[in-house]
Structure 1
Amino acid sequence: MKGTLAKFSTGSPSFLYRRDALIVILASVMITAVLTLGLRQLWGFSPQDTLSLCVIAIKNMIFIGVLWRWPGSFWVIGLTELILGAGAALVRLSEVLLVNHTATGLGGYSYWLPLSYIMAFIVLPPRPALLFSLGLFGGLAGLGIVYWSSPEVPLQYKTLYGNSLVQMYAMHVTMIVCLGLLLLVQRHYVSAIARAQAQANLAHTDPLTGLANRRQLDDWLQMALHESQATGIPMSVILFDLDHFKRVNDTYGHAVGDEVLRATATATRCAVRGVDRVGRWGGEEFMVLIAGDLRAAEMVAQRVREALQNMTLPLPVPVTVSCGLAQARPDDAPADLLQRADQALYEAKGQGRDAVAISA
């Protein structure tokens, strides 16, 4: 059970939904208990009922406060609430059926019995939730069987309340089936979303390096350029490619060339800042979108050069790169900015490679 619960990260949308749903249910029960206490004089509650309602209200208030302050307590509070709810359901129905013989009917408490099933499907993963619900229903059904077969229960009570008991158990079965079906639909829905997200990620990710591909870089570039022109905050571009990469492929094979590209992607990720974005532009060429001016871009470019030179690879010489830098202008289109960065890249190659050139 512990391993199954650990699959739900405390930061995941699923966990946050479960925690919020548990808080809502606890709050609803607490409010109902408080309102019922306020009307207890009209209904002639026993001291035991009054005490039970007070305990429920105080307990739920404490549980809500702990859940709100410490979300990681969800499992402890959720399981505690499940155990208390299931235990109370069994004890109360046992009292109604086997002690009072439903002399006063099934009582208002019977309407709350299905709440434990809902709680189970909120707190527990699917399979444990279903097993818990079936186990609880089995216990409640067992009490009904004992009641119906007991010679101590007057026949007129069985006749009078038999239909109510059957309807109650039928409703419990319907509740469990509906919750199970809703969960099944949810799982298919979540799986469909996950597949769609995976396909979307593949459409924007370079399969070899795991970096953003050219399509994603195009989208990022347009958004960054538009934001820069709207706010006046500078942005720049670094275009760099691996020097003499064709020679690496021809000499050592494409498998080694692919390893160099993957290592380049890893080293570049580590070299850029958190606000910058990097991707594979194509072949051995990469792009870095810089949130800043040419000074910031040059600093990042130098870090990239050093990081690539220090890579551990099955090559007798270090990997070097040529970098071209350009800063966005107020009237730039993406093609204009890229053209200047590309010209700077060729200037770096013309300087003998392993260099950084800045567009005028």
Structure 2
Amino acid sequence: MGSEQKRFEEQKRRVYLFVLPVVAASLALNLLITDEIRPVQIINFILLVGIMICWGLLWTRFPLAVPEILILIISLIYLLAAILSSLFIDMLAQGEPRLGDFILYMPLVVVLGFLILERKQAVIACFTLLLFMIAPAIPVWGRLTDSQINSLITLYISLFVYTLLSFFLHILYRRRAEQRAIARFAYIDALTGAANRHRIDEWLAEKAERADQEGTEFSIILFDMDHFKSVNDEYGHKTGDDVLRQMADLVRSQLGPGDLFGRWGGEEFIIITDAELPDTMALAERLREAIGSHHFGKADKVTASFGVAGELPGDTPERLLNRADERMYHSKRTGRNRVTGETAEE
């Protein structure tokens, strides 16, 4: 879950780095096309400066929570200052019939609140903002014209609706994300990120069915880490887990686009490939050399034994796996750290 959270935060950082300059450009354009200096323009300028500071913090790899909270606080202050300026200066003093253009940014603030805060906190923040926007209008409500009152009511209803909509969308998004996570981990080995036994069985069934129907061929590589129990016994299971993760990353780096890789169980792994048997043997040999020459931290050097089997006419996944398993254990019996591509009868 920690790595998932880091990826999510990194995605958010990239979104902010793209969106903040767009918002800043919009504010700058608004400042340029306005002839007279008005309070709301001063507010826009302060907001522009704050956004650029936050953008700079994002580039310097500052902890994401700091610029996020800063952006949210600046946005809330902007909205409150803008409505006070629009209410008391534009409407009451100058007779403007409706609120200013600042209301266009209100949905962004609501979305930002739900993006940064927890769902309950975001709802509380949005309704608190609504109360702060209503409060200044209450003492002067009787001095407002019908069009001004309609404009304020529209603002309040819009904020209420945006909050409810964001609330329910957030629930739907979280449930969808949880469903995807469940589906993903139903097929993925949590330790190594490789496919799990359930997914491998599906792949083998699909490959075997396709071979029967279309006459295609495929091969499998079954391999097992040598003396892996001694790694766990000597260095602990944490080091053993780290070895398995490194090994899985190393194997993935050697595979082609169509090769399928999974954890068969324990320290045993499988590769399913559409390559012909000689090419599959060559791939197994490359993997053996890559694993054997890799430095696995505390465990230092670790080797693996390989068994390779190609699909035969009328084969079932069970027969194919049995042949690969026999050949892998032949590699174990005859010295380990080797590849066997033919069934041993010794």
| Fold shared per TM-score above 0.5 | yes
**1:177 aligns to what?**
160
Query: How far 1:175 sits from its partner (Å)?
Result: 1.3
1:146 aligns with one of 87, 93, 102: 93
**1:208 aligns to what?**
191
Q: Does the CA contact (< 8 Å) of 1:130 and 1:180 recur in 2?
A: no
> Which protein is bigger by CA-based radius of gyration?
1
Query: How far 1:287 sits from its partner (Å)?
Result: 0.8
Cα distance, 1:330–1:186 mapped onto 2, change above 3 Å: farther
Q: What is the alpha-carbon distance in structure 1 between the residues aligned to residue 277 and residue 248 of structure 2?
A: 22
Q: Does the CA contact (< 8 Å) of 2:239 and 2:299 recur in 1?
A: no
Q: Deviations over 1:264-287 (max 9, x none)?
A: 223222222233222211112111
Cα distance, 1:169–1:88 mapped onto 2, change above 3 Å: farther
Q: What is the alpha-carbon distance in structure 2 between the residues aligned to residue 90 and residue 174 of structure 1?
A: 32
1:238 aligns with one of 221, 229, 237: 221
**1:308 aligns to what?**
291
Query: How far 1:169 sits from its partner (Å)?
Result: 1.7
Q: What is the alpha-carbon distance in structure 2 between the residues aligned to residue 255 and residue 73 of structure 1?
A: 39
**2:246 aligns to what?**
263
Q: What is the alpha-carbon distance in structure 1 between the residues aligned to residue 11 and residue 264 of structure 2?
A: 39
**1:7 aligns to what?**
12
Q: What is the alpha-carbon distance in structure 1 between the residues aligned to residue 205 and residue 77 of structure 2?
A: 52
SS in 1 for 2:145: helix
Q: Give the TM-score normalised by structure 2.
A: 0.60
Q: Does the CA contact (< 8 Å) of 2:243 and 2:299 recur in 1?
A: no
**1:275 aligns to what?**
258
Q: What is the alpha-carbon distance in structure 1 between the residues aligned to residue 159 and residue 168 of structure 2?
A: 14
Cα distance, 1:317–1:89 mapped onto 2, change above 3 Å: closer
Q: CA RMSD in A?
A: 4.1
Cα distance, 1:129–1:226 mapped onto 2, change above 3 Å: farther
SS in 2 for 1:205: coil
**2:51 aligns to what?**
none
SS in 1 for 2:314: coil
Q: Give the TM-score normalised by structure 1.
A: 0.58
1:325 partnered with 2:272 = no
**1:217 aligns to what?**
200
Cα distance, 1:195–1:242 mapped onto 2, change above 3 Å: same
SS in 2 for 1:326: strand
**2:337 aligns to what?**
354
Cα distance, 1:350–1:73 mapped onto 2, change above 3 Å: closer
Cα distance, 1:79–1:241 mapped onto 2, change above 3 Å: same
Q: What is the alpha-carbon distance in structure 2 between the residues aligned to residue 7 and residue 179 of structure 1?
A: 21
Number of aligned residues? 258
Q: Does the CA contact (< 8 Å) of 1:290 and 1:296 recur in 2?
A: no
Cα distance, 1:9–1:314 mapped onto 2, change above 3 Å: closer
Query: How far 1:306 sits from its partner (Å)?
Result: 0.7
Cα distance, 1:314–1:9 mapped onto 2, change above 3 Å: closer
Q: Does the CA contact (< 8 Å) of 1:323 and 1:357 recur in 2?
A: yes
Cα distance, 1:209–1:77 mapped onto 2, change above 3 Å: closer
Q: What is the alpha-carbon distance in structure 1 between the residues aligned to residue 161 and residue 263 of structure 2?
A: 49
Q: Which amino acid aligns with 1:336?
A: R
Cα distance, 1:234–1:140 mapped onto 2, change above 3 Å: farther
SS in 2 for 1:352: coil
Summarize the alignment of residues 14-53 of structure 1 with structure 2, pairs less than 5 Å apart.
none
Q: Deviations over 1:285-330 (max 9, x none)?
A: 1111213221232122111101111121467884222111122345
SS in 2 for 1:7: helix
Structure 2: unaligned runs, 5 residues or longer: 1-8, 40-67, 97-141
Summarize the alignment of residues 292-307 of structure 1 with structure 2, pairs less than 5 Å apart.
292-307=275-290
Q: Does the CA contact (< 8 Å) of 2:235 and 2:299 recur in 1?
A: no
Cα distance, 1:173–1:343 mapped onto 2, change above 3 Å: same
Q: Does the CA contact (< 8 Å) of 1:234 and 1:327 recur in 2?
A: yes
- Percent identical across equivalent pairs? 31
SS in 2 for 1:212: coil
Cα distance, 1:188–1:317 mapped onto 2, change above 3 Å: closer
Q: What is the alpha-carbon distance in structure 2 between the residues aligned to residue 281 and residue 272 of structure 1?
A: 17
